[in-house]
């Protein structure tokens, strides 16, 4: 049994509203939550933050080599996920 503190109850109520008659799979929630937490911890590591900052600075400064032919080939052959750009 899970103790439904106010924040837990609010989150579960939102989930239950979406699920309708389906039951809440707490095992799945634990797996999803653990994976999300692990990813958040990885993203917050100083070296990950520094790498993102370095890349963002290069993008802002237009300091990235661009292979136009390769980019066109990716588009032409459908090798890009259309939802990834959204």
Look at residue 48 and tell me if it is in a domain: yes
Q: How many domains does the chain have?
A: 1
Tell me phi and psi for residue 6, to 5 degrees.
Answer: -55, -50
Look at residue 7 and tell me if it is in a domain: no
Q: What is the model's pLDDT at position 69?
A: 86
The range of the structural domain enclosing residue 57 comes to 13-76
Q: What is the model's pLDDT at position 83?
A: 66
DSSP conformational letter for 45: S
Q: What is the spatial distance between Cα 45 and Cα 42, in angstroms, rounded to a whole number?
A: 6
Look at residue 3 and tell me if it is in a domain: no
Q: What is the model's pLDDT at position 74?
A: 82
Tens-binned pLDDT, residue by residue, of the chain (86 aa)? 788 999 999 999 999 999 999 999 999 999 999 999 999 999 999 999 999 999 888 888 887 787 888 888 888 887 766 666 54
CB 57 within 8 A of CB 51: no
Q: How many CA atoms lie within 13 A of 23 on its CB side?
A: 3
CB 24 within 8 A of CB 16: yes
């Amino acid at each position: 049994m899970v103790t439904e503190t106010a924040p837990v109850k609010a989150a579960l109520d939102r989930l239950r509203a979406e699920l309708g008659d389906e039951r809440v799979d707490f095992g799945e929630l634990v797996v999803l939550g653990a994976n999300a937490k692990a990813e958040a911890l990885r993203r917050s590591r100083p070296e990950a933050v520094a790498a993102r900052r370095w890349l963002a600075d290069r993008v802002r400064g237009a300091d990235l080599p661009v292979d136009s032919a390769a980019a066109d080939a990716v588009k032409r052959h459908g090798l890009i996920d259309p939802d990834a750009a959204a």
